[in-house]
Amino acid sequence: ELGGAAFCLRLPLVAPAGSVLSAPEAVCPENLHDYANGVVGPQKPWSPRPVVAALPTVLVVEDNPQIRRFICDNLADLYNVVAVNDGAQALAVLAERPVDLVLSDLMMPRLSGAELLQQMRQAPGLRQVPFVMLTAHANHKDHVTMLEGGAQDYLAKPFSTLELRARIGNLISMKRARDILQDELHSREASVEDLASQVQARRHELEAAIKAALTAQHAAEQLSRAKTDFINMISHELRTPLTAMSLQLMRLQRHHNQFSEAQRGALAQLHGSSQRLAGLIESLLQHNKAQSGRLTLQQHTFVVHDVVAALVAELAPQAEAQRLEVRLLSEDRGLQLHSDSELLRIILSNLLVNALKFTPPEGLVEVRTRLDGDHLVIDVSDSGPGIAAEDQAAIFEPFVHLEPVMQKHTPGVGLGLTLVKTITQALGGNIALQSAFGQGATFSLRLPHTAHAAASTPQAQGL
């Protein structure tokens, strides 16, 4: 089991006098060297095995052929083994091929193990190669000197096969782990450099995008101000003649009994048109206020039924002209709400006008007020064509029409429901739609009714 040393046995050719012999005659050839070669044969030099790419490579540097063969035979099943006689040959091998570990004797001709170690540690490509020194010296100081010189370990002769394989295996494993970590580090460094380059490029792109966005924002703000000014100007210019026309229509309606049936029909049409135009102007103004953050809440306590009933009465002529029934159902006519009654009127006006607009003649529009827990709920239902499920989310967007603009049969610019949603949210509520194509539609307005909800909302706030 032991190796790394040569033992010489000296025996006498003739037994001493008086010795007990196991055989009657001793057989002794004249030439003991020739006899020994005949028994065990001459020692052949060690032949390397074929190289296996997946195995680590160990370079064995030993001038004693018996010890060199012993080492190679015990490592060949685990590693690709390269064997040389001295340090000079080892340097030649290291210049030609990479190795994973060098196992070198200390005392050798031409170039000793210490000199080989020194030259390897001075060469940039060989500094990290593990080095194990073989030595017959048991001096602790010499062992420390070898380790300080750059050797990772040493083997003192004689050594066992198990010790040889264990020390070589540990260093090979650490070297392989270090190589993997080094490759990963280089990969990470390359990735970091690439990432830094990408970040720098992205930074320039973002700076350019921010600059473009700021320019676009400035242009949009200018356009928004111009739009606001234009809408305010147009609304003022339209309101003035519309007010005068409405006053004249009211005077004529007081004497409608004096007109013929055709004249009364024309008067009703004029009244309906003026109401739609007034609603359109109001929608534009309120939408403009909401978009510019100038919509404010003027809260007070009022009776809900009174606001809804007044609005239903106001739209009665339009409903009558379209031969529609408008039904108002209030569970509690004395129910009060602390909110903005004018904004509530605008919400309900848009919902009712929408219901009248899409309900066919002889149809029904129903308004129901009820209390649901801590919320006031106002349902506006119609018996119109209904709204398909895939279109229900889009109808609350501004300027959205469910029919092509050039084929529209119903008046409006598509701001009514957008305004309903915006004002409802400003009042702390929400608007929901229940509908199916061909089955009418119900819009449910929910507003907070509890004292806590009313008190938590300021008297006036901007959107």
Give the model's pLDDT for residue 377: 95
Distance CA 105, CA 90 (A): 11
pLDDT band at 74; cut points 50, 70, 90: very high
Cα angle 91, 97, 100; round to 5: 90
| pLDDT higher at 248 or 324 | 324
pLDDT band at 190; cut points 50, 70, 90: confident
Yes or no: say if 151 and 117 are a contact pair by the CB < 8 Å rule. yes
Identity of the residue numbered 268 = A
Yes or no: say if 303 and 336 are a contact pair by the CB < 8 Å rule. yes
SS3 445: strand
| pLDDT higher at 208 or 223 | 208
Mean pLDDT value of segment 27-48: 51
Give the model's pLDDT for residue 404: 45
Comparing C-alpha atoms, which of 407, 274, 292, 435 is closest to residue 351? 435
Mean pLDDT value of segment 407-417: 57
DSSP 21-54: PSSSS----S-HHHHHHHHH-PPPPP-PPPP-TT
pLDDT band at 364; cut points 50, 70, 90: very high
Look at strands 325-330 and 80-84 and give their pairing: unpaired
Q: Where are the alpha helices (DSSP H) in 31-139?
A: 32-40, 65-75, 87-96, 113-122
The answer to whether residue 389 scores a pLDDT higher than 80 is: yes
Counting Cβ atoms within 10 Å, is residue 120 exposed (0-12), middle (13-18) or buried (19+)? Answer: buried
Name all domains of the chain by residue range, CATH numbers in brackets. Answer: 2-179 (3.40.50.2300), 295-456 (3.30.565.10)
Give the model's pLDDT for residue 47: 67
Looking up tokens 């010890």, which residue turns up? 67
Give the model's pLDDT for residue 32: 47
pLDDT band at 44; cut points 50, 70, 90: low
Mean pLDDT value of segment 257-263: 83
Give the model's pLDDT for residue 457: 40
Return the bridge partners of 3, or none: 159
Give the model's pLDDT for residue 317: 87
Q: What digits encode the pLDDT tens for the residues 443-457?
A: 999 999 864 444 334
Q: What digits encode the pLDDT tens for the residues 209-233?
A: 999 988 888 887 787 677 677 666 7
Mean pLDDT value of segment 118-132: 92
The mean predicted confidence, pLDDT, of the chain is 81
Cis ω for the linkage preceding 109 (within 30 of 0): no
Distance CA 342, CA 54 (A): 85
Give the model's pLDDT for residue 248: 81
The answer to whether residue 285 scores a pLDDT higher than 90 is: no
Whole-angstrom CA distances from 138 to 62, 157, 193, 331 are: 18, 9, 51, 108
Yes or no: say if 364 and 358 are a contact pair by the CB < 8 Å rule. no
Query: How much is the pTM?
Result: 0.45
pLDDT band at 20; cut points 50, 70, 90: confident
Distance CA 75, CA 164 (A): 9
DSSP 186-248: HHHHHHHHHHHHHHHHHHHHHHHHHHHHHHHHHHHHHHHHHHHHHHHHHHHHHHHHHHHHHHH
